[in-house]
Amino acid sequence: MTAAVARIGPNAVLQHLPVLDAAIGEALRGALLHRAGVDTPHPDAGMLPEPQVARLHHAVRLFLPDQAPAIQRAAGLGTGDYILAHRIPMPAQRLIRAAPGFLGARILSAAITRHAWTFAGSGAFRVVSHLPLTFEIAANPLAQGRAGAPICHWHAAVFERLFARLVWPGVQVRETACCACGAPVCRFELRPR
């Protein structure tokens, strides 16, 4: 009997495509996906197999090391925009925006926790602290390989976009620990300006 493959939301791949096209061109983007063994998902794709998503994130960092942070940040911001446009109902967005910052942050954090399986896959997401607001993803499947500095620019940008638009304009999200650096978790601190 085989275990089910964990899955991650398609925007972890789809939002990379236009950014890669702008950075390296559609032909090289196609070659990068081919080299990573990743099929271009349909725009209406459902959840994608975690290994496929992980291979794309790793390939971007491996083959475009100087551009990877900016590419993955732009893809993360695009994912946040998609979530705001299609996944968080407008009444909920209005409620979060109207709440005091500490309460809006708790409401949004609770919603993120309920839907963490869509971006953490087989990893384990949790809110570690509310002051400062700190998230962790244990065994983050998108932090493959070894690195000398944190590499989870996509996750950090998704969190930044959601909190900047709904809770704290100008929030800064900093990854302070990363599985790719040998840490057991990827840790993200959110600091309002």
pTM for the model stands at: 0.96
Residues 6-32: what's their mean pLDDT? 97
**21, 60, 72, 94, 123 from 185: Cα distances, Å:** 31, 21, 19, 32, 9
pLDDT exceeds 90 at position 119:
yes
Give 149-188 pLDDT, tens digit per residue.
999 999 999 999 999 999 999 999 999 999 999 999 999 9
* Helix axis angle, 50-63 to 68-86, nearest 10°: 140
Separation CA 119–CA 115 (nearest Å): 8
pLDDT at 73: 98
Sorted by where each starts, the structural domains of the chain and their CATH numbers stand as 7-191 (3.90.1520.10)
pLDDT exceeds 80 at position 2:
no
C-alpha closest to that of 32 among 48, 55, 49: 55
Residues 20-43: what's their mean pLDDT? 96
